[in-house]
Amino acid sequence: MASVSSRPPDKNALERVGKLVRNRLEADPKAYKIPTDKAEIYAIGEFLTSNECRKLAGMIDMVARPSTLYEGTYKDGFRTSYSGNFDSQDPMVKMISRRMDDALGLPGKIGETMQGQRYLPGQQFKDHHDYFYPEEEYWKMERKNGGQRSWTAMLFLNNVKAGGATSFPELGLRIEPKAGVLLTWNNAKPDGTPNECTLHAGTPVEEGAKYVITRWYRTRQWG
């Protein structure tokens, strides 16, 4: 039996949250489970209206700055998109956040602020995991700031002319962006341990632009 010190952080909480979201999505007739036995990935079509997509893309243009990474974790050029956090008190941000929370069946207090991301031709985010690595220095802060990331919820705001797929190399999946779709996945296995098969990338945009919103959920109250 593993000792407490060797157990992945927040394992029990990740198992509990995973079951909660799984049951919620399985009961939603609009939720489609991506066919794979190695990870829990779901998509919900027409989650946003075309008008909402346009407004949110415009909001991204207003907050977008060169994307940042946790210091010391990745090399230069690993993430070349532009991104920015939305104002959590903005009425539209509140509305969309609540809709995402409701879709996953999670309390809003464990969700991070919605982050908008814009990819122009040649820009990308190479293979990475969304869960935190406890051996890294940043974990000392994130452990107190809501703990481990459980589920990722991503909104596609536009169709991209060429490129820009979300790739899961360990699963052999490439998901093309489609306006209004919510894509969500469990960063842990059902037993609460980190799922290395959730390794994913925002592949380079070849033509046009790609606008997405991401909201990461923790195991405890965020912030």
Q: What is the pLDDT of residues 14-45, one digit of tens each?
A: 999 999 999 999 999 999 999 999 999 999 99
Domain ranges of the chain: 10-216
pLDDT tens-digit series, residues 69-88:
654 444 556 888 899 999 99
* pTM of the predicted model as reported, rounded to 2 decimal places: 0.93
Share of the chain above pLDDT 90, in %: 89
SS (H, E, C) the chain: CCCHHHCCCCHHHHHHHHHHHHHHHHCCCCEEECCCCCCCEEEECCCCCHHHHHHHHHHHHHHCEECCCCCCCCCCCCECCEEEECCCCCHHHHHHHHHHHHHHCCCHHHECCCEEEEECECCCEEEECCCCCCCCCCHHHHHHCCCCCCEEEEEECCCCCEECCEEECCCCEEECCCCCCEEEEECECCCCCECHHHCEEECCEEECCEEEEEEEECCCCCC
Of all residues in the chain, what percent carry a pLDDT higher than 70?
A: 93
Q: Which residue has the higher pLDDT, 95 or 223?
A: 95
Residue 17 has a pLDDT of 98
10-216: which CATH architecture? Sandwich (2.60)
